[in-house]
Structure 1
């Protein structure tokens, strides 16, 4: 059950997003550390906006991975490999962001790759109405290769400790045990995010920041006139 504080924050954030009127779909990025709560927030926000009568296109950047042999070419634990080699940027732009952006034809696809089967996929294109809202969650969404593809960027802020504890609890079974998972966070995910911060400063360019350390009592800051203000 969603807490009252979290529900109020979601309503405030949904109101901010819904107020952005464009002659085409609005493209929203939900950015943040690994295991910061991006996917949960994106799903909650999508439901909140649907309740306001908006059509939502909901997907994850994980639908645009590169093959394992390319992702792990620098090594399974490589932070540089995670940052530079994980995602297929041409596919993200060609299939999703460009069709929904200025001058786009609005025929879009939400994925190009099956991560679990490690094979490309070909979706039938779907057509977006002018007032649709695209919500994409994932890591490194404000990196230079993607930054211009978003109309709004929301940064999910968590401490390193909180996100890693959540991630280890979530991924232990998937990644082969607690110690293996802890080592991946130490070697790959944590330094990759530090690299991202040094290159893109995502918290400084986001349109809104949600501190998600306390899941039931998150806080929201919205950027107005170049400055962040608490809501």
Structure 2
């Protein structure tokens, strides 16, 4: 990890560590496909681990809808990915609200086994009152979720840079470079454009990081 990346993560970890809302701190890491959300969230969780707060990082793959629901508008539909990829109702009702004011602090660890497409109904854990719970996924500031976060880190990157990283990551799984590029253009990048147009997530996030070059990120906003 470069010194510049470590410094940005440390600044954000210190900022979040000082937040004491009276319940577990619910932190979303948001951004378009390929921006580096999962790696950033893991690194942020590690940086938060240097504070005196217990940290939980939830896997966003475990909060998808089942495959049939994800593909009901067509497997290459951008609108379908935007509306049907994630089970945000479950995220809200089984994670964010229980962790929020007056909640039980008992939350779902996952609602789907992504590999087998099996629904999971009974995997839960209990968070301490001072825990920091980090969840990374695209579309986290949609209307139904926006007021349930205590802090949102939005990672911004030039579209071409994000696309290049996404293709390098998913090329094999999507059948090679040509198939991957077509899938991203018609489905994933298209869904992200819908999100950017409808929700303006960069403006609404409490923390914004310029992440075009993950080795040289820059904090744009920290509130």
TM tier, smaller:
over 0.9
Residue 122 (structure 1) shift? 2.9
The 8 Å contact of residues 113 and 120 in structure 2, kept in 1 or not, is answered as: yes
RMSD: 1.1
Map residues 56-71 of structure 1 onto 2, 5 A cutoff. 56-71=55-70
CA contact (8 A) 1:58 1:136 kept: yes
* 1:78-117 aligned within 5 A: 78-117=77-116
2:221, 2:133 → 1: CA distance? 19
1:120-159 to 2 correspondence within 5 Å? 120-159=119-158
Q: Which runs of 5+ in 2 are unaligned?
A: none
Per the alignment, residue 23 of structure 1 pairs with 22
TM-score, with structure 2 as normaliser: 0.97
Contact 1:206 1:223 in 2 (8 A): no
Aligned to 1:33: 32
Do the aligned partners of 2:110 and 2:123 also contact (CA within 8 Å) in 1? no
Note the residue ranges of structure 1 that are not aligned, 5 or more in a row.
225-231
SS class of match (2:29): strand
Count of matched residue pairs: 223
TM-score of the superposed pair, with normalisation by structure 1: 0.93
Structure 2 residue aligned with 1:227 = none
For residues 72-93 of structure 1, the C-alpha deviation after alignment (integer angstroms, 9 at most, x for no partner) is 1111110000001112222111
Using the alignment, how far apart are the partners of 1:222 and 1:110 within structure 2? 30
Determine if contact 1:158/1:212 at 8 Å carries over to the other structure. Answer: yes
The answer (yes or no) to whether the contact 1:34–1:167 under 8 Å persists in 2 is yes
